[in-house]
Structure 1
């Protein structure tokens, strides 16, 4: 399927290419409709229907929504000077019954539950939705970097797109400004083209300018060995030992220091276990690895003024954790200082974590009904949640300079084009294989189309420990190393016998070079794909 097949959205091209197979047999005497049949707005928890005007403008009282069609997308603009707007929704009347399988993304990380599923009317499909009828894949989405949080609904007789405009847990106050809410894109695959290839190409349409690492990223991360009980010495020992298994001298691996180096509430101050983070970075470099560092941008200090803090959100435990309000410029300035500090210390990559949880008080798997608890608001209510997140991500990007950034617990569609890497799934494990299978194999199988189209898609670590069976970890290691995605290993040094060392050395060598994306061959029917195409050969895995 050629990319131009997705982005040709002229009035005739969009209709004839996309909707000829989705519309009822006769609509307006056979002519096709390429503008929404209905538009709705949510204010004060009530949905109100807007009046259409020419198919591209919809109004109700002070609310005005305008759709502007270009050659590659449909831009949605919203003006609501007086209303506290919670969401807008478009509906297209289409018969989707012939499509037996539907696939949608996740808000942020995935949680072991991704799959092609039968259409369900009440399911929210974050960011994009793919429909498959055993011959072709129809694709509906929005471009990355949107200013609203978007999801698709596939109903028996219509398709819906909802653009959430909330600020915190209340409607946004736009005032006189016009919000560029999202850019809608669609596509249709060739006959008998694989849904995997269709998904990959559609990701390229949604993200025209990904920000990618200059070379493949691989290396080590200490989390699944010590789970925060790290120190200068443990990082030195792990880096030194694992560096001996590296054979590629042109693309050096990373040694990422995870949680445990900092003061509990201040990510600009090193604790007594490490003492000097600049010295730590130099130690890592001396062993031929590139230093990386984990951080949590929105954690507040215990002595911070209450005026800087985000409101307490029901369900988010804040008895011992205080969160900075990301709409306050002083807090954004602190985030930027900390990121710039890590660069001054000599780090080449920063992994920033917890921002979605800290902002919304929910994990992505808990966002089935609402993104956050209702009723609370930030200091600044004039920006949507998506705009607030975009501003935070942009500040991190700006202050990082040429350091690589890994987003973890970040909204996927807002990370694309901003961060070089994104953690695409919840934590794997160094303690139980079942968790690695659920969170690792599933997320890699269903989010690899985003690899090198949105960012480098990090499926998380191989927890190489005595608690996880080597016959399973060896397969997970191989899949990561040969999939074209980043590879990170957390290894207990005392279990590295000759067999494991040889496997790690080979995995590092594979991960250091550019490879084609792996393809899960049975992902239409298997939630944990076992049949893969890796480097143009078929490989079978046994995850059970």
Structure 2
């Protein structure tokens, strides 16, 4: 199948052939476009495919129709492949894994096909201008490029949309599925933006859950500073709870001075970080700057800024710049995918959002609007590190140093950490240091979670070569917990190879890992 769908160019890279069919959807049902080779059209909708180095660029024109999507079909038999691995739109939700091919499954961004030590990869390069997914059917491979603007079709006018760049690969002899997928991630993201040193430190969320204050953060940072490693300072990230309800440029009464807070963290030997929610609007925001009301969001209680409005982008940039002026060196920005679509990634099944609404600027696709906001945050951040949380993974790569790859773990229940944390570490470690530093979320060290489970989760994250953030309740820390955190910080502070799940083809919660050259088996039950 793969040899027919691709051909080798002189550089040895794989290029996908022109599709057998191209379909488009605007106001009604899907329509088949006429043509063959690299150009397909119907009325005023046209799709052209051009070679771009090791990729195939997709260019779309639709000057009159409100275009909702393009679908490309390659007619090939795929039955020889017994397992398929897809990604997620944003964070994962405990549901990633190598699965039996299902014609109805949407595989976001890329799809890896595996059978008997052979792995094939089909994807789009990061930073694309549409939201893309792959379908693997018994007699075809399909790529859908979603061009919605909000819940309606985009109005491209007379411009040509460079929708995406398709890229493919095939495993080399002796290369296992993990190595092939990791290499493919490097191909999809040619210029990741990575931290200069490994990231480790603390975050207060999983034992404070927003019940923090300046005094609280000061005491927490001081208690954890004893575990710092010389030559690579740890981070102290202030999570939700510092801000005024509707204004992320102002602190609430629990905090005295945010610039002073950053200075206090530095004085204790750590690097300060801060959490924000960029699309929250002040309650007095004029209506024409607000996003349309959609089902799934409580817009009356928590109004949302329309990210297609230039004034809102400037407000977001102002807040990010303000944190830099205060002295913070890392910003964790959260909730933007939910705030835009009114849905979490796990709810984006048949549609990304409620139909029937659009942004103020309907001439841009959702991906373009989101990417523009991410680039603005990047510009305003300057040299500060950025952690994307609830951000679209493929649009985060190359812009943010870190990205939260899974839904929330927990400082209250082990089952949530096992479901969300272990799964995302197992199936998104191929993105670590290829897309960004892949943050599997915090290790909550509290009395509410069995320490025997927590210390295994701590070991996995600390030895995986990915960022480590610990949410440790100081009142719970005995000699054993302190020794384990000290060791974990020492490991996480130094460069390590990315951990490899050795049993990921058989289970969605890998227990057998290769960590820093050693085989480690965990008991997640």
Q: TM-score range by the shorter chain?
A: over 0.9
Tell me the residue number matched to 1:252.
Answer: 233
2:194 to 212, 215, 220: 212
Structure 2 Cα separation of the partners of residues 399 and 12 of structure 1: 42
Q: CA deviation at 1:317?
A: 2.3
Structure 1 Cα separation of the partners of residues 76 and 350 of structure 2: 25
Structure 2 Cα separation of the partners of residues 242 and 339 of structure 1: 27
Deviations 1:113-161 (A, max 9, x none): 0110000000000000000012210000000000000000000100000
Tell me the residue number matched to 1:519.
Answer: 500
1:133 to 105, 115, 121: 115
8 Å CA contact 1:134–1:192 kept in 2: the answer is no
Structure 1 Cα separation of the partners of residues 428 and 6 of structure 2: 30
Tell me the residue number matched to 2:157.
Answer: 175
Q: 1:51 to 1:15 in 2, by over 3 A?
A: farther
Tell me the residue number matched to 1:269.
Answer: 250
Deviations 1:322-369 (A, max 9, x none): 000001000000000000000000000000000000001110000111
Q: How does 1:431-510 map to 2 (within 5 A)?
A: 431-510=412-491
Secondary structure of 2:305's partner?
coil
1:190 to 172, 182, 191: 172
Structure 2 Cα separation of the partners of residues 297 and 439 of structure 1: 24
Deviations 1:402-453 (A, max 9, x none): 0000000000000000000000000000000000001100000100000000
Q: CA deviation at 1:187?
A: 0.3
8 Å CA contact 2:14–2:54 kept in 1: the answer is no
2:215 to 233, 236, 253: 233
8 Å CA contact 1:18–1:138 kept in 2: the answer is no
8 Å CA contact 2:8–2:14 kept in 1: the answer is no
Secondary structure of 1:68's partner?
strand
Structure 1 Cα separation of the partners of residues 327 and 173 of structure 2: 51
Deviations 1:189-212 (A, max 9, x none): 023421111110000000000000
Structure 2 Cα separation of the partners of residues 293 and 365 of structure 1: 27
Tell me the residue number matched to 1:382.
Answer: 363
8 Å CA contact 1:139–1:186 kept in 2: the answer is yes
Tell me the residue number matched to 1:51.
Answer: 34
8 Å CA contact 1:480–1:487 kept in 2: the answer is yes
Tell me the residue number matched to 1:29.
Answer: none
Q: CA deviation at 1:316?
A: 2.0
Aligned residue pairs: how many?
A: 522
Structure 1 Cα separation of the partners of residues 392 and 13 of structure 2: 30
Q: CA deviation at 1:315?
A: 2.0
Secondary structure of 1:84's partner?
coil
Indicate whether 1:100 and 2:73 are aligned: no
Tell me the residue number matched to 1:25.
Answer: none
8 Å CA contact 1:10–1:70 kept in 2: the answer is no
Secondary structure of 1:513's partner?
coil
Q: TM-score, normalised by structure 2?
A: 0.98
Q: CA deviation at 1:275?
A: 2.0
Secondary structure of 1:85's partner?
coil
1:117 to 85, 91, 99: 99
8 Å CA contact 2:91–2:406 kept in 1: the answer is yes
Structure 2 Cα separation of the partners of residues 76 and 344 of structure 1: 41
Structure 1 Cα separation of the partners of residues 14 and 326 of structure 2: 52
- Misfit runs of 4+, over 3 Å: 9-19
Tell me the residue number matched to 1:420.
Answer: 401
Structure 1 Cα separation of the partners of residues 7 and 485 of structure 2: 53
Q: CA deviation at 1:298?
A: 0.3
Indicate whether 1:370 and 2:346 are aligned: no
Q: 1:232 to 1:171 in 2, by over 3 A?
A: same
Gaps of 5+ in 1: 1-5, 20-32
Tell me the residue number matched to 2:20.
Answer: 37
1:354 to 320, 326, 335: 335
Q: How does 1:385-400 map to 2 (within 5 A)?
A: 385-400=366-381
Q: CA deviation at 1:11?
A: 5.4
2:47 to 53, 65, 90: 65
Indicate whether 1:158 and 2:140 are aligned: yes
Secondary structure of 1:173's partner?
coil
Q: CA deviation at 1:70?
A: 2.8
Q: 1:12 to 1:448 in 2, by over 3 A?
A: closer
Tell me the residue number matched to 2:300.
Answer: 319
Secondary structure of 2:265's partner?
helix
Indicate whether 1:200 and 2:182 are aligned: yes
Secondary structure of 1:193's partner?
coil
Deviations 1:223-247 (A, max 9, x none): 001100000011001100100112x
Q: TM-score, normalised by structure 1?
A: 0.94
Structure 1 Cα separation of the partners of residues 419 and 196 of structure 2: 30
Q: 1:503 to 1:378 in 2, by over 3 A?
A: same
Secondary structure of 1:471's partner?
helix
Structure 2 Cα separation of the partners of residues 16 and 94 of structure 1: 22
Q: CA deviation at 1:44?
A: 1.0
Tell me the residue number matched to 1:89.
Answer: 71
Gaps of 5+ in 2: none
Indicate whether 1:538 and 2:522 are aligned: no
Structure 2 Cα separation of the partners of residues 482 and 139 of structure 1: 28
Q: 1:48 to 1:346 in 2, by over 3 A?
A: same
